[in-house]
Amino acid sequence: MPRSVELFAGGGGMALGMFNAGFEHEQLIEKDPRACKILETNAERSPDLWKKENVRNMDVLSWLKEAPGLGLVDIDLVAGGPPCQPFSISGAHAGENDGRNMFPAAVETVRILRPKCFVFENVPGLLRPSFKPYYDYIYDQLSKPSVKPKSGDSEHWADHHKRILQTKRAGLNYRVYRQVIEAADVGVPQTRRRVFLIGIRTDVPGWDRWTDIIPTHNRDALLRDQWVVGSYWKRHEIKRPEMPDTFRARVEVLRRVDELFESSPWQTTRDALVKHPKLPKPRDGKDAPDVLNHRGIPGARTYPGHQGSWIDWPAKTLKAGVHGVAGGEGMIRFHDDSVRYLTVRESARIQTFPDTYEIPGTRTAAMRALGNAVAVDVAGIIGKKLREILNL
């Protein structure tokens, strides 16, 4: 079985997706003890996932000091999501100057372990024009990680970047691919755009065979299913509601186009909640019997910029917050405009975690872990493709 190291493991979204793709995790590094508790709890519940002792509650920079002595040879994959706050649209936009910028640690891990491939995930804000020079630096540094920066603060990153570009033959080379993936386009019931940097060592057979992940699900197919054919409402055995005004123009176009979509419809919040087994309606303040993390939370309300996610559309991007998160990502909005908070289990389904995956701790900690996670199915799709083209 191919072996991996998970950086910034969080609540385990990337790790679980890569496990589903067939990778065995040698180390899972995460500095937040609450997130580590999630990883450890599920190691105890499902020993095949990863070993509890392989969950390391420490900063990646601290872990790097002991990594050379851990015997981590022939690692196939390094994966993780370096903290995205420095590059987030909603953050302070400090980028490379933000102390939470962990891309240098990610590059150092690749330099030390020399994995056959790596996968790093981040927010699309990384590609904004103001950050593009630093993004280009990250990209080129991952391409030639053996061209090390000078020790200490004696070399600015821009000067290091020039040295990388001037180095024709580095000792360690990767072909780096970039793709922005919309999770809804691959069957996740959530609109969640993330940029992935995927690197393959150039001495590995298949290093030049990577191609973009092909979308399998389609927005127009959902609109047609709902408002032209009507099969969506029949499938869910509910009365067809009034069409939202925002859809009318596009639906009129789809009515005039007599075509069958090769892609499946986007998955909605309702699709996620009623898939087998159907989740029971949550009760405020009470845990649902035989369902992990399914407790209703009272007090949901709307206000400007916090309107909830319409139940018959993919959920808005879950973020690392609970009450008052801009955009209402933590709420469901129904056809009568009533709202309620998503339970932790419902949020986990929207992030494509299995129902057997327990998320212990407070609701705040659980929702933060889920909001920070890579959607499990997206990671799994990438991992399976890497295994296939590299014959791992």
Task: Mention every residue, 6+ apart, whose C-beta is less than 8 A from residue 45.
Answer: 356, 358
pLDDT surpassing 90 at residue 108: yes
The reply to whether 84 belongs to the active site is yes
Give the pLDDT confidence score for residue 293 in this predicted structure: 97
In terms of Cβ atoms closer than 10 Å to its own Cβ (0-12, 13-18, 19+), residue 2 is buried
Q: Are residues 148 and 249 in the same domain?
A: no
Residue type, 50: W
Give how far Cα 151 sits from Cα of 113, 137, 156, 157, Å: 20, 17, 11, 12
165: left (phi over 0), alpha (psi -120 to 50) or beta: alpha
Question: Could you tell me where the beta strands, DSSP code E, fall in the chain?
Answer: 3-7, 24-30, 55-57, 77-80, 117-122, 174-182, 193-201, 217-218, 264-265, 309-310, 331-333, 339-341
Q: Are residues 38 and 186 in the same domain?
A: yes
Q: Is residue 306 part of a domain?
A: no
pLDDT bucket at 259, cuts 50 / 70 / 90: low
Q: Are residues 127 and 240 in the same domain?
A: no
Point out the catalytic residue in the list 7, 39, 84, 342.
84
Q: What is the pLDDT of residues 184-243, one digit of tens each?
A: 999 999 999 999 999 999 999 999 999 999 999 999 999 999 999 999 999 999 999 999
pLDDT bucket at 328, cuts 50 / 70 / 90: low
Q: Are residues 18 and 124 in the same domain?
A: yes
Give the pLDDT confidence score for residue 1 in this predicted structure: 92
Q: Is residue 16 part of a domain?
A: yes
Q: Is residue 332 part of a domain?
A: no
Q: Are residues 35 and 74 in the same domain?
A: yes
pLDDT surpassing 60 at residue 86: no
Domain that holds residue 236: 218-262
Distance CA(54)–CA(42), nearest Å, equals: 12
Give the pLDDT confidence score for residue 93 in this predicted structure: 37
Higher model confidence: residue 69 or residue 386? 386
Q: Among 233, 262, 291, where does a domain finish?
A: 262
Give the pLDDT confidence score for residue 289 in this predicted structure: 92
Q: Dig out the tokens for 57 from the structure.
A: 């509650």
* Residue 165: CB atoms within 10 Å: 14
Q: Is residue 293 part of a domain?
A: no
Q: Is residue 287 part of a domain?
A: no
Give how far Cα 67 sits from Cα of 33, 135, 170, Å: 20, 26, 22
Residues 293 and 348: beta-carbon distance below 8 Å: yes
pLDDT bucket at 324, cuts 50 / 70 / 90: very low
Q: Are residues 204 and 237 in the same domain?
A: no
Give the pLDDT confidence score for residue 132 in this predicted structure: 85
Q: Are residues 38 and 158 in the same domain?
A: yes
Residue type, 224: R
Give the pLDDT mean for 32-39.
97
Give the pLDDT confidence score for residue 94 in this predicted structure: 38
Give the pLDDT confidence score for residue 202 in this predicted structure: 97
Residue type, 263: S
What average pLDDT does the structure give for the chain?
Answer: 90
pLDDT above 70 covers a percentage of the chain that reads: 93
Q: Among 228, 262, 296, where does a domain finish?
A: 262
Give the pLDDT mean for 244-271.
90
Q: Are residues 191 and 247 in the same domain?
A: no
pLDDT surpassing 60 at residue 180: yes
Q: Is residue 13 part of a domain?
A: yes
Give the pLDDT mean for 70-82.
94
Q: Are residues 136 and 240 in the same domain?
A: no
Q: pTM of the predicted model, to two decimals? A: 0.93
Residues 296 and 283: beta-carbon distance below 8 Å: yes
Task: Mention every residue, 6+ apart, whose C-beta is less than 8 A from residue 27.
Answer: 5, 6, 54, 56, 63, 70, 72
Q: Among 244, 262, 280, where does a domain finish?
A: 262
Residue 45 is part of a domain; what is its CATH number? 3.40.50.150
Torsion of CA 82, 138, 67, 113, to 10 degrees: 120
Distance CA(348)–CA(352), nearest Å, equals: 6
Q: Are residues 238 and 153 in the same domain?
A: no
How many domains, the chain? 2
Q: What is the pLDDT of residues 277-320, one digit of tens each?
A: 999 999 999 999 999 999 999 988 887 777 889 999 999 999 87
Q: Is residue 60 part of a domain?
A: yes
pLDDT surpassing 80 at residue 321: no
Nearest 5°: the CA angle 84, 90, 94 is 60
Closest CA to 267 of 217, 207, 233, 322: 217
Higher model confidence: residue 153 or residue 368? 368
Q: Are residues 183 and 149 in the same domain?
A: yes
Q: Are residues 202 and 223 in the same domain?
A: no
Q: Is residue 338 part of a domain?
A: no
Residues 133 and 158: beta-carbon distance below 8 Å: yes
